[in-house]
Amino acid sequence: MNMSNPTAISSNTGRAFCPSVSALALAVATVLIIFTWMFWSFLLRQVRFAIEFQADWGHTLVIPFIAGWFVWLNRERILASPLKPSFTGLLLVLLGVGWFSVASIGPVLFRHHNLMGMGVGITIFGLVLAFCGWRAMRWMWFPVLYLVVFSQTVSDRFLEIITFQLQGIATVGAEIGLSILGYDVSRNGHVIDIYHEGRIVPLNIAEACSGMRMLVAFLALGVAMAYRGLDTFWQRIVLVLMAIPTAVFVNILRVVTLGILSTLDSNFASGDFHSMVGLLWLIPAFFIYLGIMWILKLLVLDDDEEDEPVTASEDMSLRFDRRIIGVFVACIALLAVSKVGFSYGAEALQVHLQTHPVPLRRSLSLIPSSLGTFQSVHDVQYDASHVEQLGTNSYISRVYVDQFGRSKRPLQFHVAYYTDQIDAVPHVPDRCMTAAGMVQRSAEPENVPLPGFGGTWVDDPVNQLDGTPYPLANRVDAASGDEVTVRMPVGDRLVRHMEFVDPRHPDRRVHAGYFFVANGRWKATPAGVKMAAFTGGDRHAYYCKVQVVANGDAGFDRDAFFSEICPFLSQTLPEVMRSLPDWSEVTSSSETD
């Protein structure tokens, strides 16, 4: 593209010139296309998150338009004189691309969605500085920063601690609010029991009720309102900070509302109605926030600061210093070379920038209700809010008992399947049972080997994973009666164990054990899941949580728990693996694609 062509560019005074609309549109389109090409893997994942989890991150799709509106509000200041592009911006572009590359294909420790986002954000700052120059950045740095911070999702691993604390605040606040309204309530963890008309109405303050969604949205709204609606720096800071207590307070009111409605009908605290109540409370929350901004305005009766006068120009069109041609060519070349080098590096390191989902071979519900001496006595179906909290529709939750064994203690069996969900935090007893009011007895969870587990399994003579043969287990199909061979997960057979005490029944002990199967590998911890399935080394990614919970009296210790779950898992795990993808087949088909 020849931007100096006199038919496409009208000359201006001095070294400044004004590109034609067609030339400018072509230049912008070229930069956007090559920028998208460079960061395609990140942008695609970001948009998918925003669409699939609209309640949490749908607002990220609106942020670019708000940032563009901020730029439009300052257009007269920005265009008061010709833009003087800066080659310094190219250094930021190079830094951003380098950061993104390390976070995408570098050491596994650095591979994270938000670290990639930092690289994208630095590159955007560099491009704006390169094309618009330092003078224009006086008014453009805030819209760019707003775009970078609020237009990307935040991974569950970063939000986990904050969300858990907000759940606690919402629970305590709702307990106080319901008590003030005259309800008889008690609190256990993140569960409030409402005693109403001779019955107990439990109100579970799930993660969806933590207020995290409202807090993120209010921060984005608060920054936008502070930037546009207030004049002084301290007012803006106060308004942004007030987004936090406002969101927390309104969320408490929302939980109180759900508690009151649940005394009328327990269905009001779950499903679509649960979400609708949250949306309705956003309306008064917005007016509360407007009232805070109005008060802050009243606190400043006479603002001595005046906006910088704008020098009127006869021509307010977009004008550039002539060095824009060199900057444009340099940016395009830098991004193109970086993309080629990035793709070559990913191929050389055998890193897949996008992991693809892999479906179950069969529904988990087809796991037999009768397994050896164990018989299912109850299936648990989660409501919409619990499924949302769980993060998947592919799950089973059953209660089995050993009908003919030495113990008939119920075993609560839970399996949940996830695929293509990088940086997700699995719901494990470490968090869930604590939220339910349980008190952990052991200081930390421990990884315990299953004694004698898999003793009848044999090694696959042909197929291996990570240099280790797949274990093979033989099963008799309950429907056909035929014997089938099942590939079992590779790795140390460890179960992550925790022991809890229910404060309401201090003489009882609750034991929970869980592990994961991730891309054909046995892993005991959530951190191991990422190392197994989301390092970029595999084209596909999945993980499955397998969990068993049992309770007993004060004499029910760890050894007794494992002596009961070992024979149970020996029967159930092969059936679970029949539903999960056969990783040997998945990798074989990937290699032939």
Domain chopping of the chain, boundaries: 9-154+322-348, 157-298, 364-592
Cβ-based neighbour number of residue 283 at 10 Å? 9
Report the pLDDT value the prediction gives residue 9, as an integer from 0 to 100: 41
Which residues on adjacent β-strands are paired with residue 200?
Answer: 195
Q: What is the pLDDT of residues 168-184, one digit of tens each?
A: 788 888 889 888 988 88
d(CA 433, CA 441): 12
SS (HEC) of 421-462? CCCCCCCCHHHHHHHCCCEECCCCCEEEECCCCCCCCEEEEE
Pairing assessment for the beta strands 320-321 and 411-419 based on DSSP bridges: unpaired
Asked if 419 contacts 358 with a C-beta cutoff of 8 angstroms, the reply is: yes
Return the amino acid letter for 376. Answer: S
Q: What is the pLDDT of residues 359-379, one digit of tens each?
A: 999 999 999 999 888 999 989
Judge residue 512's burial from the number of C-beta atoms within 10 Å of its C-beta, 0-12 exposed, 13-18 middle, 19 or more buried: buried
Q: Where are the alpha helices (DSSP H) in 191-306?
A: 212-229, 233-264, 271-298
**Is residue 110 pLDDT above 70, yes or no?**
yes
Cβ-based neighbour number of residue 456 at 10 Å? 10
pLDDT over 70 for what percent of the chain? Answer: 84
For residues 489-496, average pLDDT? 93
d(CA 586, CA 552): 41
Q: Regarding predicted confidence, which is higher, 437 or 81?
A: 81
Residue closest to 397 by CA, chosen among 379, 384, 383: 379
Return the amino acid letter for 229. Answer: G
Enter the DSSP assignment of 183.
Answer: -
Task: Compute the residue count for the chain.
Answer: 593
Enter the DSSP assignment of 503.
Answer: T
d(CA 27, CA 227): 30
Q: What is the pLDDT of residues 241-262, one digit of tens each?
A: 888 888 888 888 888 888 888 7
For residues 489-499, average pLDDT? 92
Query: How far, in Å, are 326, 468, 487, 519, 589 from residue 461 at the CA level?
Result: 62, 10, 12, 20, 19
**Residue located via tokens 């898999």:** 454
Query: How far, in Å, are 28, 84, 309 from residue 315 at the CA level?
Result: 21, 16, 17
**Is residue 396 pLDDT above 70, yes or no?**
yes
- What does the longest C-alpha to C-alpha distance in the chain come to? 95
Q: What is the pLDDT of residues 309-356, one digit of tens each?
A: 555 445 567 888 888 888 999 999 999 999 999 999 888 888 877 778
Instruction: Quickly state the pLDDT bin for 470 (edges 50, 70, 90).
Output: very high
For residues 6-32, average pLDDT? 70
Which of 52-66, 106-120, 329-343, 446-460 is predicted least confidently?
Answer: 52-66
The verdict on pTM exceeding 0.75 is yes
